[in-house]
Structures are given as structure tokens and as C-alpha cells.
Amino acid sequence: MTPVEKQFLQRNQLPDSYLDSANKWFAPLVEDFKKPGKSAFIIGINGTQGSGKSTLADYLCTMLAEQGLKTVSLSLDDFYLTRAERKNLAATVHPLLKTRGVPGTHDIALALQTIDSLREGSGQTLIPRFDKSTDDRHLDADCDLVDGAVDVIIFEGWCVGAKPQPEEALAQAVNSLELERDADGSWRNFVNNALARDYQPLFNGIDKLIMLRAPSFDTVFNWRLEQEQKMIARLAEQSEADRSGIMSEAQIAEFIAHYQRITEFSLAEMPDRADYLFQLDSRRQIIELFQTRLCINEFWSRIICNSFKVFIYN
């Protein structure tokens, strides 16, 4: 194990065994992505909450940096509107918009501006960060600055690359949250319209899309609960840390209900167009990889090709 790999494991609170899986499944991606172009290469990572998006983003950034590439990781979460902005949105549009996460609760103009600045590299780029423990953005003084242009941008988020649903699909509620608190469908229509209007220009800039596909939406609660427990453990080491944003199990269940509609649609729709589709089991282990492309890197072995898709066996 190299010092860089050891630091990666410690940073993400991971066991040594993670590297065995990463080297098997993700190291080939580093080979595919390590050839920089004239402008920053953007890799999108889609996955449900707790699926391992941020960990994969960190792994790719770490390994690509070892190849001499200048990389930066961006999370869609870090472009949330501030708590005050979401409170205003809830008061003027729909109460459910107070909860962060769904399309319409991000500052997409800021995301586009940040990516353009990283590509142009004419000066310093501020990388916004969001503090989930306080449900608000970090102050600029607490955020990182990147000098000049970068070679690779890793952009991860639960709805990165997602497509809007057909209008007729919005008529029926998918859970009790929609049934009881969005009876007229105005919230879900606002979210779907925002996804169609504002988010597609952002997602269209992605060069390669990776999907970490959960077996179903039912697994998301346990994965999200694990995330919360990790955050609690981290904050316990900081005696004066603000814990106002910590959620109970009941709050987590209500929270993820906001994401159910788009998540389930993406689980069904996105696999056919993701460049790299990693199928996960309920324990978050990769069980197979589908690669949607015709030109195959020589690194891959044990492959069966057809004219549309490559299936790589475990």
C-alpha cells in the first residue's frame, strides 16, 4: 500500500479491503481518463445517497493526481441554495422546497460559473462547500481555492445526469409525502420543470457518465443512515461542532422521500446511456459492470461484445 492510498483510506474511514475492490473495478477508469485534452475532462458520477459517489470521486482524483493530472472534485450538494434562500423558496413557491436536494434547490448558475472558471484557468476558482451538519453553505473563507486550469473535473451527485419525467408520469403520487403534502402536484411539477430547464445544460457538459446503481430505492434508507452515523462520529471528535443538522431515523425516512421519484426514474432510465454502469448489491458491493461503448481499452479482459453494449463479468 502506498502512502497516498493509506491517506485515502484514512480520509474516507475505509478498511484496507476497499483497495482490493477499487483496484479491480475502478483502476481501469484511471487508465481511461488519464489522457488530458485541450480543456478539462468532466466525469459525472450518479448514484443514490450512500452509494459511494464521493468515495469514488476521491479515489479517481487521488489516482489521477498520481498520474500527474491536476484534478478537482465537485459535488452537486455543494451548490445547494443557502438555508435562507431555500426558506424563501418554500414561502413563495412550495413548503417542500425548504428541504435541500431536489432540482430547484441548487444554484446552477454558480455551478456553471465554477466549471467554466476551472476550464479557463485565468485566475483562482473558489470551490463552494456545503455543511450538512448545519444545513448551510460554508463561508467563502473556509472553502478551497484552485489556481489556474485543471485537467479533470469529477462531478458527483444523486441526480447528476438525470432526465425529467414525461408530464403524464407526475399525475400519481409515489409516496405518502407527495400524497399528503403535494396533493395538487405543484411541487413535483416545479422540480421536474427545473430539472428539464436548468439542469440539462449543466449535465450536457459531462464527457463520461458513471452510474453506481442501487438494487432498488428501498436500500437507500440504510445507506443514508450509515452516512449520518459517520457524520455523527466525525462531529464527536470536534467538541464545539454544530450538530443542528443531524437527523433522526424518522427524519431520514422523510428526507429521502423527497428523492424517491427522480431516483426510481433514473434507476430505470439511466442504465441504457451511462458510459460505465456499476451494479451494486444491497451491501453496496459491485456485482457487475456494463460499459456502453464500442471501443474497448486493452486493459479489459474477459469480455463479450455485441454491437450495442459490453458486459464485463465479475
pTM to 2 decimal places: 0.85
Residue 196 per-residue DSSP state:
I
Domain of 242, CATH number, reads 3.40.50.300
Asked, for residue 17, whether it belongs to a domain, the answer is no
Q: What is the pLDDT of residue 201?
A: 96
Position 311 pLDDT exceeds 50: no
More confident residue, 13 or 103: 103
Instruction: Report the residue count for the chain.
Output: 314
Percentage of the chain surpassing pLDDT 70? 86
Which segment of 74-83, 189-198, 215-224 scores lowest on mean pLDDT? 215-224
Task: Kindly state whether residue 9 falls inside one of the protein's structural domains.
Answer: no
Please report which confidence band the pLDDT of residue 226 belongs to, taking 50, 70 and 90 as the band edges: confident
Mean pLDDT, residues 82-98: 95
Phi/psi zone of residue 13: left (φ > 0), alpha (ψ -120 to 50 degrees), beta?
A: left
Average pLDDT, the chain: 87
- Model confidence at 37: pLDDT above 60: yes
Task: Please give the C-alpha separations between residue 71 and each of 34, 54, 260, 275, in angstroms, as whole numbers.
Answer: 10, 14, 32, 20
Dig out the grid coordinates for 174 from the structure: 409515489
The region of weakest confidence among 48-62, 65-79, 170-184, 246-260 is 246-260
Worst-scoring range by mean pLDDT, 67-81, 127-141, 195-209, 275-289? 127-141
Note whether residue 63 is domain-resident.
Answer: yes
What's the pLDDT score for residue 300?
A: 42
What share of the chain in percent tops pLDDT 90? 67
Query: What was the pLDDT predicted at 296?
Result: 39
pLDDT tens-digit map of 234-260: 666 666 555 555 668 788 888 899 999
pLDDT value of position 245? 58
pLDDT of residue 239: 61
Instruction: Report d(CA 300, CA 226) in Å as an integer.
Output: 33
Using pLDDT thresholds of 50, 70 and 90, give the confidence band for residue 231.
Answer: low
Establish if 10 belongs to a structural domain: no
Return the C-alpha torsion angle 160, 280, 130, 222, nearest 10.
130
Residue 156 has what pLDDT?
A: 97
Output the pLDDT for position 13: 85
- The number of distinct structural domains making up the chain is 1
Range of the domain at 182: 23-312
Confidence of residue 306 (pLDDT cuts 50, 70, 90): very low
Q: How far apart are CA 291 and CA 295, in angstroms?
A: 10
Task: Answer whether residue 170 is part of any domain.
Answer: yes
Is residue 18 situated within a structural domain?
Answer: no
Higher pLDDT, 208 or 234: 208
Tell whether 5 is covered by a domain. no
Task: Evaluate if residue 232 carries a pLDDT over 70.
Answer: no
Alpha carbon distance 314, 300 (integer Å): 12
Q: Kindly state whether residue 13 falls inside one of the protein's structural domains.
A: no
CA dist 122 and 145 (Å) reads: 13
